[in-house]
Amino acid sequence: KFEDARKIAAEFNKPDIPADRVAEAEASINQIRAALEAGKALTEQDKDYKYYAGEVLKRADELAAKLAARKIAIAATDGRAALTEAMTAAKAALTTAKVPEVTDADLAAAAKSLGAITKELDARTALEPKSAGYAMQATKTREALVGMNEALEFAKRVRDLSKQTVETLAAGIAAA
């Protein structure tokens, strides 16, 4: 039972464990620990087993550390992809918001897309100290977000002025 779990865990002792097999790797580590716990009585009776169990536990801990690092790397990759996707959508929405024929719905869509970026950043704040690559992209995204918010506010002001101009023209035409 123990050797089967150890063999399964050995399959995952690679730097690039596929994301879809992380749970399986965690389960095999837990099986190893459970098997060691079940054989705890033997450690007091057999010194060779005690040494063996200690070494296996060390390897299981090393594998768990590698797995934790891999989970962080996967989360960072997913986070960077989500930020890139959100930024692309926001840029497209802002481009639409900058045209002269912009509607209130276009402005609302642009505001919503900027809110989505903020949500993505907030959802993965805990990841920043763990992954330098993600932290750097998050910082760049925050900096870009400031400029995008300014562009949205400018587009809103342009829309308001356009509305006022049209209303004033309509009132002037009606009065004439």
pLDDT beyond 70 at 46: yes
Q: For residue 167, give both structure tokens.
A: 């209303």
Over residues 44-52, mean pLDDT = 88
- What's the chain's average pLDDT? 88
For residue 6, the model assigns a pLDDT of 67
Q: Are 128 and 135 in contact (CB under 8 A)?
A: yes
Greater confidence (5 vs 135) lies with: 135
Over residues 59-67, mean pLDDT = 86
For residue 156, the model assigns a pLDDT of 93
pLDDT beyond 90 at 66: no
The count of other CB atoms within 10 Å of the CB of residue 52 is 16
For residue 119, the model assigns a pLDDT of 95
Q: What percent of the chain has pLDDT over 70?
A: 90
Cβ neighbors of 74 (< 8 A, separation 6 or more) are: 19, 22
For residue 52, the model assigns a pLDDT of 86
Q: For residue 127, give both structure tokens.
A: 């990841």
Q: Are 49 and 39 in contact (CB under 8 A)?
A: yes
Best-predicted range by mean pLDDT (16-25, 137-146, 166-175): 137-146
Query: What is the crossing angle of helices 47-97 and 22-38, to 10°?
Result: 160
pLDDT beyond 90 at 106: yes
- Total-model pTM: 0.75
For residue 126, the model assigns a pLDDT of 94
DSSP readout, 111-133? HHHHHHHHHHHHHTGGGTTT-HH
pLDDT beyond 80 at 168: yes
